[in-house]
Amino acid sequence: MALAQTEEIARRLTAAVPGLDVEIVKFDTTGDLDQTSKLLPHGGKGGAFVAQIRAAVLSGELQAAMHSLKDMPGNEDTPGLVIGATLSRDPPSDALVLRDGVTLEALRQSRGKGFKIGTNAVRRAAYARRLFPDVEVIHFRGAADTRVRKLDNGEKQRLPDGGAVGPADALIMARSGLDRVGLASRIAYEFTPAEMLPAAGQGIVAVECAAQDWQTRKILSSIDDPAAHACADAEREVLWVLNGHCNSPVAGFSTIAGDQMSLTASVLDLSGNTIIEASRTGSANRPRELGRAVGLELLGKGAAEIIERSRPR
Ligand SMILES: NCc1[nH]cc(CCC(=O)O)c1CC(=O)O
């Protein structure tokens, strides 16, 4: 998936800047190699996948780095780096993938009783428990195609403690991720934002570069999508205000209509029993202001306490 996204950036750059020579450099991060452990020991999802690549941009070894915006920590900045471009947003929704023989109907009617849903995202797990209160959510990770293969083969997922869970009956995954690896046909159902609010930045590919590398910044600005960038700013401002961490179920999703932007964000506890939501509309030209207002409203409703309870120590 990461390679597909990077190739897309390269395609857009070559189209926008005639004569530009783009070389793609692949990184095997610790996070990629370790498919059993939870991601937290590496410093969280962002820590695992992002730190090594960022160091290469800061040292000048790379001019730019591709990130899924959703995976970039929203509660801390990397000094010296900026997001030089965000590509136009792919569909931000989460999707349900089922093994042969399972139907959405059966899941809904049973309230999930007797079924196992695989995901490693705390936000998807919390929303899954709200939608299907009796379901068992199991830890499931790996590349998108690997996860689907494990589902189809009825394979168990190994856990860091040596145990195993599964097999899964269903998975919840990003629709955009499934699209990018050619598995869109496996989408049995696409959750609406009302059912499962997307993660901040979901579906947006970001290109990061050195703040002082003006030449690269100029080149990247030619592939920047201002609407996606504004949504990214609004949604990430919520994370910033909440000091949200990678183990906290936080969602944030904005849309633009004309000169107005609407932003909804939520904070859940890990069980999905508690949910706090805030929704506002404001000027699309001031996305951070809107993000700040929504974030502060969530704090006013008690979001910080829920977030701190799930913070890894
Ligand atoms: N954590 C992995 C990851 N990072 C980005 C996406 C795809 C969605 C996106 O582009 O935001 C995925 C897969 C998934 O969440 O199922």
Minimum CA distance residue for ligand 1 atom 10: 203
pLDDT in single tens digits along all 313 residues of the chain: 889 999 999 999 999 999 999 999 988 765 544 445 544 444 444 555 678 889 999 999 999 999 999 988 898 889 999 999 999 999 999 999 999 999 999 999 999 999 999 999 999 999 999 999 999 999 998 889 999 999 999 999 988 888 999 999 999 999 999 999 999 999 999 999 999 999 999 999 999 999 999 999 999 999 999 999 999 999 999 999 999 888 889 999 999 999 999 999 999 999 999 999 999 999 999 999 999 999 999 999 999 999 999 888 7
Helical pair 226-242 and 287-300, crossing angle rounded to 10 deg: 30
Return all residues near 193 (Cβ < 8 A) that are at least 6 apart. Answer: 92, 93, 253, 264
Minimum CA distance residue for ligand 1 atom 6: 177
What are the residue ranges spanned by the domains of the chain?
Answer: 1-90+203-224, 94-190, 226-313
Question: By C-alpha distance, which of 228, 240, 172 is closest to 202?
Answer: 228
Report how far apart, in Å, the C-alpha atoms of 7 and of each of 2, 11, 13, 15, 206 are.
9, 6, 10, 12, 13
Q: Kindly write down the DSSP assignment for every residue of 33-65, as one continuous string.
A: H--SS-SGGGTHHHHHHHHHHHHHHHTTS-SEE
pLDDT for res 29: 60
Asked if 252 and 279 count as a contact pair (C-beta separation under 8 A), the reply is no
* CATH code, 1-90+203-224: 3.40.190.10
Architecture of the structural domain at 226-313: 2-Layer Sandwich (3.30)
pLDDT tens-digit series, residues 174-226: 999 999 999 999 999 999 999 999 999 999 999 999 999 999 999 999 999 99
Residue entry with tokens 């059912």 = 195
> Which of 3, 72, 119, 176 to probe ligand 1 with, by most ligand atoms within 8 A of CB?
176
Please tell me the CATH superfamily of domain 94-190, with its number. Answer: Periplasmic binding protein-like II (3.40.190.10)
Is-same-fold flag (1-90+203-224; 226-313)?
no
Please give all residues whose beta carbon lies within 6 A of any atom in ligand 1, as ranges.
Answer: 68, 70-71, 144, 173-174, 176-177, 202-203
> Which of 1, 42, 66 to probe ligand 1 with, by most ligand atoms within 8 A of CB?
1
Please state, in angstroms and rounded to a whole number, the distance separating the CA atoms of residues 229 and 233: 6
